[in-house]
Amino acid sequence: PQASREYQLVENGIKTCMYPGYPELYMQLNKKCEFHFTPDWYRGIEYPKEQERGYDFNEDLYVPGYFEVDIKKGESIVFSAGISETTPRKLKQTFEAEVADRTPRDSFYHCLKNSAHQFHNQQEGEHYILAGYPWFKCRARDMFIALPGLTLALDEIDQFEDVMKTAEKAIRNFINEEPVGYKIYEMEHPDVLLWAVWAMQQYAKETSREQCRQKYGELLKDIMEFIRQRKHENLFLHDNGLLFANGTDKAITWMNSTVNGHPVISRTGYIVEFNALWYNALRFIADLVREGGDVYLADELDAQAEVTGKSFVEVFRNEYGYLLDYVDGNMMDWSVRPNMIFTVAFDYSPLDRAQKKQVLDIVTKELLTPKGIRSLSPKSGGYNPNYVGPQIQRDYAYHQGTAWPWLMGFYLEAYLRIYKMSGLSFVERQLIGYDDEMTSHCIGSIPELFDGNPPFKGRGAVSFAMNVAEILRVLKLLSKYY
């Protein structure tokens, strides 16, 4: 009874306001029409997804009436709803201009390209990448991992540079121990700077090392200096050349689910992908600065990489040929997880070809699904592949067997690295699994994660930046073989 059923006629439509203090809702068509006032309540609409998640799931919905309009065969009618009045005769023009501005969703690639553009977010003159829809902000790690795929893979180099302009300011503030001051969250996570280096490395491959050095050379040197001088409060360079981070009290890696304030998986100590990123960064920056004439720094970084690479193999590689997920003193995590695949995918790796192939084989055998790479092997303890139920139940499953599409990007890059031309048809077959996704969930995008067991149902956020980015990056890698 509190809801107002009042309405007033406006040009080719009506305006109505259900509650005081709400904005007016305008509904207009681009053609003369007749509004029939038939107010109805649809009671007890249920939202099963919300119910499954333990949220309110019941709602009553109000419909004020319907429009009747004469329409000729083949004619299109444009309907508009908004909180301000529009000029009906301009509706068709506005609609067509908006359509022209978007990538048509008429192919797998175009769907992904359209989706990629939707993660760009500009506020107050700064350029961010949102981690996903409907509820994610701009998270630092996600931004750097997604950036190459969302921009360089689409040949949008200026967009990469634009986002990096904002990101560089945030990185510099962080390194100089000033407040980050930008809407980029979780900048303090220990692997974020290393992922930033990886993103700039992709820029160097897409443009040239020369261009990368001119644009980002100083930033790359400063990041390395910051880590090597042990200035990061949770990233310690040990004498064996490996990076150590404390993750017992707080989740510090991308596997970041927490229950009651504690990480579900406390990955701590020497963490495998942190050190793969570190080795890759040392070698990449050494090569970059050597070409720029700074031989002294290059030799220093290469010497550091020698030590790091030797320790990496000693610490992480086990007798079964795969890599331990993290090592903390006497505590070694033997779970088969996907984080070792980065060591095969990156341009610079401490592993030799035979060692890389062993890692790839184990990931293929135990973690590969048609929708992504599992976060834990079914053979490992605690495997929990279905991301369903209330929040706490989902938090326990989040990284314990669910399949993540963005990891597939690195997996397929690793596959092409080992098998080259002979791996192409396999890679193409793997990508078919995502083609079906274009017509479910969020149309034309890829959701956050999938169940690790058949039928591999999509779950979580309906659209996820790192997933879209990495599939686009693989499509770009494939195009270089043809």
Does any domain span residue 361? Answer: yes
Q: What is the pLDDT of residue 389?
A: 84
Task: Domain count for the chain, please give it.
Answer: 2
pLDDT digits (tens, 9 = 90+) for 254-297: 999 999 989 999 999 999 999 999 999 999 999 999 999 999 99
Does any domain span residue 437? Answer: yes
Residue with tokens 């605690």: 382
- Burial (CB < 10 A; 0-12, 13-18, 19+), residue 172, is middle
Does any domain span residue 2? Answer: no
Q: What is the pLDDT of residue 20?
A: 94
Q: What is the pLDDT of residue 49?
A: 80
CA distance 15 to 416: 58
Give the least confident one: 17-26, 98-107, 215-224, 307-316.
98-107
Q: Which of 59, 75, 101 is the last residue of a domain?
A: 101
pLDDT digits (tens, 9 = 90+) for 139-167: 999 999 999 999 999 999 999 999 999 99
Q: Are 15 and 24 in contact (CB under 8 A)?
A: yes
Containing structural domain, residue 68: 7-101
Give the contacts of 244 (CB within 8 A, at least 6 positions apart). Answer: 235, 236, 237, 238, 269, 270
Q: What is the pLDDT of residue 194?
A: 98
pLDDT, the chain, mean: 95
User: Do 49 and 117 have their domain in common?
Assistant: no
pLDDT digits (tens, 9 = 90+) for 112-145: 999 999 999 999 999 999 999 998 999 999 999 9
Q: What is the pLDDT of residue 187?
A: 96
User: Do 151 and 84 have their domain in common?
Assistant: no
User: Do 199 and 328 have their domain in common?
Assistant: yes
Q: What is the pLDDT of residue 52?
A: 79
Q: Which of 101, 131, 158 is the last residue of a domain?
A: 101
pLDDT digits (tens, 9 = 90+) for 332-367: 999 999 999 999 999 999 999 999 999 999 999 999
pLDDT digits (tens, 9 = 90+) for 464-473: 999 999 999 9
DSSP per position, 222-282:
HHHHHHHTT-STT-EE-TTS-EEE--SSS--SS---EETTEESS---EEEHHHHHHHHHHH
DSSP per position, 92-159:
HHHHHHHHHHSPP-SSHHHHHHHHHHHTEEEETTEEEE--EETT---BHHHHHHHHHHHHGGGT-HHH
pLDDT digits (tens, 9 = 90+) for 86-107: 999 999 999 999 989 888 999 9
User: Do 187 and 47 have their domain in common?
Assistant: no
User: Do 93 and 195 have their domain in common?
Assistant: no
User: Do 229 and 262 have their domain in common?
Assistant: yes
Does any domain span residue 179? Answer: yes
CA distance 131 to 464: 6
Give the contacts of 173 (CB within 8 A, at least 6 positions apart). Answer: 179, 180, 181, 182
User: Do 74 and 169 have their domain in common?
Assistant: no
Q: Which of 43, 70, 101 is the last residue of a domain?
A: 101
Does any domain span residue 249? Answer: yes
User: Do 163 and 69 have their domain in common?
Assistant: no
Residue 120, both tokens: 């760009």
What band does 206 get if pLDDT is binned at 50, 70 and 90? very high
Please report, for residues 27, 31, 65, 192, the alpha-carbon distance to residue 34 in angstroms, rounded to integers and kept in the order given: 12, 10, 11, 57
Pairing mode, strands 449-450 and 463-464: unpaired
User: Do 86 and 208 have their domain in common?
Assistant: no
User: Do 199 and 221 have their domain in common?
Assistant: yes
The H-or-E segment that residue 63 falls in is strand 58-68
Does any domain span residue 1? Answer: no
CA distance 361 to 321: 9
User: Do 113 and 94 have their domain in common?
Assistant: no
CB atoms within 10 A of CB 413: 20
Detail the DSSP E strand segments found in 387-474.
403-404, 449-450, 458-459, 463-464
| pLDDT over threshold 90, residue 177 | yes
Give the residue among 309, 278, 121 at the shortest CA–CA distance from 201: 278
CA distance 415 to 357: 9
User: Do 396 and 283 have their domain in common?
Assistant: yes
CA distance 400 to 374: 8
CATH number at residue 369: 1.50.10.10
Phi then psi dihedrals of residue 453, to 5 deg = -115, 155
Does any domain span residue 188? Answer: yes
Residue 184, both tokens: 């980029």
Bond prior to 455 in cis (omega within 30° of 0): yes
The H-or-E segment that residue 393 falls in is helix 391-397
